[in-house]
Amino acid sequence: STSRQTVKLAARSIICGPLQAGAKFYGVIYGDGPVGLEEKQIPLFESITALAAELLTASHVRNSLLAARSTIAALNAVAWEGERLILGDGPSAQELKELIETCAPQDVTVLITGETGTGKEMVARAIHRFSARREAPFVPVNCAALPREIIEAELFGAEKGAFTGATEGRIGRFELAARGSLFLDELGELPLDIQVKLLRSLQEKVIVRLGGNEAKPTDFRLIGATNVELEQAVREGTFRQDLYYRINVFRIHLKPLRERTEDIVLLAEHFLKQFSARFGRAMTGISKEAIELLSGHSWPGNIRELRNAIERAVLIERSNELQPGSLPISTTEAAPMANLDLESALQHGLPRDYEAAKGIFEQVFFERSMQANKGKIAGVARETGLTRKTIYSKLEKLGLADK
């Protein structure tokens, strides 16, 4: 029909341009007319087609966000596009993949344990992704990072007037996770009264907002994570035994990176590729010397520490191949840094740079404080005199906070 129209109009010029943004192809823009086109008009037409393609892309993203049932779901719709879940290829990683494949389709509560930085949230996201709830929100909550004063309102929501400044009703994380998955990280830090409400929600499938009386039906899958021994917490009376039995249905324990050294180089290469693309660097690989340094480090902060180390190295590396000098690891280490006290660190050679030397002190200080308090933020706060917010910020900076 287009060709017949062209003949009928006796068109002297025909122009056609693709509507394409990245790998997404929407169609073409076609134009014809009785007046001939000048060559200088072609760049203008190309600009128009490019702009139209970008507008279509923006419209597509906007429609996806509007279709999402909540802000969390909207963020998932964008952030998860093309995301790769890194688990490694070694025996430990293969076992982990099998556990995920086993529990993900079954709508049961999952408890993920392991040291800080071992990737507990990554595993929780994988479980959600491969479950029947994958199209609904995945709502992560770090219980240790929430101030005691607002944790109930954050989790269960609050009615208008429930507390000073509550001028309208507030939806809690339980409601945001409707038909999806709620990930409670560091759930061992939950106060006992909140544990009681959580147990009721799990048993009766209802929640009651702060300041309210109405029991609202809810439907979510709980995935919990902790880096402390909940059995010990039960014995000490800081964690309810009935709640422990309720959440410990299917358990996944993540091994520390020092026990799965076969995955260190694979993970490092992935992070190198990721950050090279982000920072516009043409990195071709990791030198043999850097690989030896990476493989010999104990990684007390596990995968998060490794990720942070590669990110820093990509920023400061001047060659196209990552060298050991760009890694924040001492080449004179005779023992894992996790086992060094300050005297040993001095003996093995502190960096001349003040910030780097301070970083070693903070690494040792907070590692030991976390170990002494069995990973409990509240105990670290009492011992150090720092606020929970400050401690959590430090742990994030040092790669010791599990995400």
Cα 310 from Cα 264, distance rounded (Å): 11
- Let me know: does 348 contact 354? Beta carbons within 8 Å: no
Alpha-carbon distances of 215 from 55, 161, 386, rounded to whole Å:
44, 18, 38
Please give the chain's pLDDT, 403 residues, in tens: 445 555 555 556 778 888 876 656 778 888 777 666 677 777 777 778 877 877 776 666 555 544 444 444 444 443 444 445 556 677 888 888 889 999 999 999 999 998 888 889 989 999 999 999 999 999 999 988 888 778 888 888 888 766 656 557 678 899 899 999 999 999 998 999 999 999 999 999 998 888 778 888 889 999 999 988 899 889 989 999 999 999 999 999 998 888 888 889 989 998 999 889 888 888 889 999 999 999 888 888 888 889 889 998 998 888 999 999 889 886 544 334 334 445 554 554 555 555 556 667 777 788 888 878 877 888 888 888 787 777 877 787 776 765 4
For the question of whether the overall pTM of this predicted structure is more than 0.85, the answer is no
- Mean of the per-residue pLDDT values of the chain: 79
The distance from CA 310 to its chain's CA centroid, rounded to whole angstroms, is 17
Alpha-carbon distances of 230 from 81, 200, 302, rounded to whole Å:
35, 19, 21
Cα 229 from Cα 225, distance rounded (Å): 11
